[in-house]
Amino acid sequence: MKLKPDAFNYEDYETISKNGFRLYNTPIGYLPSITTVLGFTESAEKKASLESWRNALGPVKSAEVSKKATDHGTMVHLLAERFLKGEKVDEPVNGKAIPWPDMAAFNSLKLKLKLIDPIWGQEKSIYSLSLLVAGRFDCAGVYKGKPSIIDFKTSLNRLKNREEIKSYALQLAFYALAHNEMFDTDIKQGVVLMAGAGGMPQEFIFDIENELEDLMIRVDSFMAVNASKL
């Protein structure tokens, strides 16, 4: 792997919370995050399913399970970031050893991570002038020979199809669109690398152009209701 930190002039935009929305302070003003946009416009069916799950477990247990999953995802993401930077992966965090499940999940991703070469940037802020939305991507670079935006995810269950991660695909489409606008790149591939049950990683590759129409519909839907609150 080769890190090219000067490939693009990335910046880091601060974030704030306003009216329950996460906003990025970009050179053209405060813009909503892509995760805020996609979360707000999630389908009623998915929102109902999540609410049903919370009700079945109860508020305390569901919060506990959610925090555990979030902590696991955050740690695996950190380990992947360390690996791609050439840092010591198993260095303790806050004085504590890396939990075994987190290290096992990271190890399942390693072979996939080695396919990113060169790496253009990690955890970088970008925004779209055409959509007026901002965000922070996990990784940009070349994956299997193609310019790509790559996201690292975790899942307790092995996913069966792409529709289960439709929002991830739209998120990748946004990052690619924004990167292409800002840096005159030609990223057409989005990649989700997912560590999940069974010890084997899952790889989902998306054609960005196939996701742009749905992305724009979701952004338009969000703005129609919330533009005055931003």
Summarize pLDDT for 169-220 with one digit per residue, the tens: 999 999 999 999 999 999 999 999 998 655 678 899 999 999 999 999 999 9
Between 83 and 159, name the one with better pLDDT: 83
Say what the pTM is. Answer: 0.91
Q: How confident is the model at residue 160 (pLDDT cuts 50, 70, 90)?
A: low
- Residue 197: predicted pLDDT: 54
Least confident of 32-36, 108-112, 157-161: 157-161
The Cα–Cα gap between 117 and 193 comes to 15
Q: Mind listing the pLDDT tens digit for each residue in 77-98?
A: 999 999 999 999 999 999 999 9
Burial of 59 (0-12, 13-18, 19+ CB in 10 A): exposed
- Residue 69: predicted pLDDT: 82
Q: Mind listing the pLDDT tens digit for each residue in 17-61?
A: 999 999 999 999 999 999 999 999 987 677 666 777 677 778 777
The answer to whether 35 and 64 have CB atoms below 8 angstroms apart is: no
Between 139 and 42, name the one with better pLDDT: 139
Span 88-111, average pLDDT: 91
The answer to whether 50 and 63 have CB atoms below 8 angstroms apart is: no
The Cα–Cα gap between 83 and 74 comes to 14
* Helical spans, DSSP H, in the chain: 34-40, 44-57, 59-85, 100-113, 166-183, 208-226
